[in-house]
Chains A and B, each alone.
Chain A
Amino acid sequence: SQKIEQNSEALNIQEGKTATLTCNYTNYSPAYLQWYRQDPGRGPVFLLLIRENEKEKRKERLKVTFDTTLKQSLFHITASQPADSATYLCALEADSSYKLIFGSGTRLLVRP
């Protein structure tokens, strides 16, 4: 069956450290993968998109990698700040139809 999995346990790190979140998928061959941030009581906000032919994408303190062989994407936040505390969702294109399939998200808590 098709699955997209993110660690359901919260990630708790110290301010200034690098946070690394994982997104694994099975039985999909997505052309791209997206990452969103969601704060409590709010809708998700788009952060980054990485295509299947891209190994890595950066935006300010954010970095995303995409390994289509491992069927995995890693999302990194360097020099993390308490304001980075949120839930991070990965989403992939299901079947070339522009529909997204979302993971359940990983909550990140950055301690001051």
Chain B
Amino acid sequence: DADVTQTPRNRITKTGKRIMLECSQTKGHDRMYWYRQDPGLGLRLIYYSFDVKDINKGEISDGYSVSRQAQAKFSLSLESAIPNQTALYFCATSEPTSGSGDEQFFGPGTRLTVL
């Protein structure tokens, strides 16, 4: 079974709708991240959480919100979806190691299309 899972894998929705993307992990990691990927722009950080009580904005948080329901679950919401939020969304986890440099483990992604 995959260590980091995302649901749904694909979603088509309309402008103005509220959408929730869910991420679950079985790695036991404290740190979780949400990214979006657009062609030619690479991965951009939306929100991140270093433990259940910690939520931080990333580079492009406007229009998004998150909820860390448990160590294993981190959800991303689009309160009112707009077409320029059409993108590939990835969840990732990591575990701090001594010093810096923890690698990140990514889920399979959710392809979101906002019409």
Using a CB–CB cutoff of 8 Å, the interface residues on chain A facing chain B are 4, 8, 31-32, 34, 41-46, 49, 51, 89, 91, 93, 96, 98-105
Contacts and interface: CB of A to CB of B under 8 A. Distances in A.
A100 B94 CA distance: 11
A8 to B, nearest CB: 7
B103 A46 contact: yes
A49 B101 CA distance: 7
29 contacts: A4-B42, A32-B100, A41-B109, A42-B109, A43-B4, A43-B90, A43-B92, A43-B106, A43-B107, A43-B108, A43-B109, A44-B43, A44-B90, A45-B106, A46-B103, A49-B101, A49-B103, A51-B100, A51-B101, A89-B43, A91-B43, A93-B100, A98-B94, A99-B45, A99-B48, A99-B58, A101-B45, A102-B43, A105-B42
B15 interface: no
A102 B45 CA distance: 9
Interface residues of B, number: 26
Contacts of A42: 108-109
Contacts of A96: 100
Nearest to B43: A102
A46 B90 CA distance: 14
Contacts of B105: 46
Nearest to B90: A43
Q: 6 closest Cβ contacts across the A-B interface?
A: A43-B106, A104-B42, A46-B103, A102-B43, A32-B101, A102-B42
A50 B102 CA distance: 11
